[in-house]
Amino acid sequence: MIDPYQVGVAPFHSSGALQGFVISGRWPNSMKEWTQLLVLAVRVATVPGLLGTSTVFGAREDLPDNPFPGTVGLVIAEGPVLGEAAINPGRLAGRFPPALLMLHPPSETTPSLPECEGAASGCVLLPGVPHLGLDHRAAWVEADSDGTITSLVSRVGIDPIRDPDTAVLAMLLAA
């Protein structure tokens, strides 16, 4: 049984490629909880071959077909950052998701510590509405292949343009 007071997260894949995460119980409701979700997502991204390239994931209140009781939504792969299938700027502007994640596989992550080869990394952006006093918030996580968190940073009041990950995510939201 799903505890409605906890956030449940279950990754899902298709043909061996990570497609997203099913969220159950309730949505994360703080920067701390979104950071915890990012930690799990980055740990999943360390699995060899599961994430082929840097990919953007968006939170949606959509439900999968035949959802398990207690399912509240999905964090689903929107598309890769680069290449022919890359997600286009402004694609998410009409939906304005409550959170965007970018995950980088080990092949596209330069570990912060030399002994952490095989590390994956990621970023979560909670877009704000600065002119209404609601600041942008973000967190960045790096985890090595055994799941050890090697870097974790969380910030409130960020300027998305100052970091490559948040700049890409903000650009995807811009109309």
Q: How far apart are CA 105 and CA 41, in angstroms?
A: 11
For the chain, give every domain's residue range.
8-173
- When the pLDDT of each residue in the chain is averaged and rounded to a whole number, the result is 89
Other CB atoms closer than 10 Å to residue 34's CB: what's the count?
25
Q: Are 106 and 125 in contact (CB under 8 A)?
A: no
* Banded pLDDT at 74 (limits 50, 70, 90): very high
Q: How far apart are CA 4 and CA 173, in angstroms?
A: 30
Q: Per-residue pLDDT averaged across 134-140, rounded?
A: 86
pTM (predicted TM-score): 0.91
User: Is the confidence at residue 133, as pLDDT, over 80?
Assistant: no
Phi-psi region of 6 (alpha: psi -120 to 50; beta: other; left: phi over 0): beta
Q: Per-residue pLDDT averaged across 79-87, rounded?
A: 90
Other CB atoms closer than 10 Å to residue 142's CB: what's the count?
24
User: Is the confidence at residue 153, as pLDDT, over 60?
Assistant: yes
What's the pLDDT at 132? 57
Cα–Cα distance list, 136 to 52, 63, 77 (Å) = 28, 26, 21
Contacts of 50 (CB under 8 A, 6+ apart): 13, 16, 17, 18, 44, 105
Q: Are 99 and 126 in contact (CB under 8 A)?
A: yes
Structure tokens at 140: 């960045």
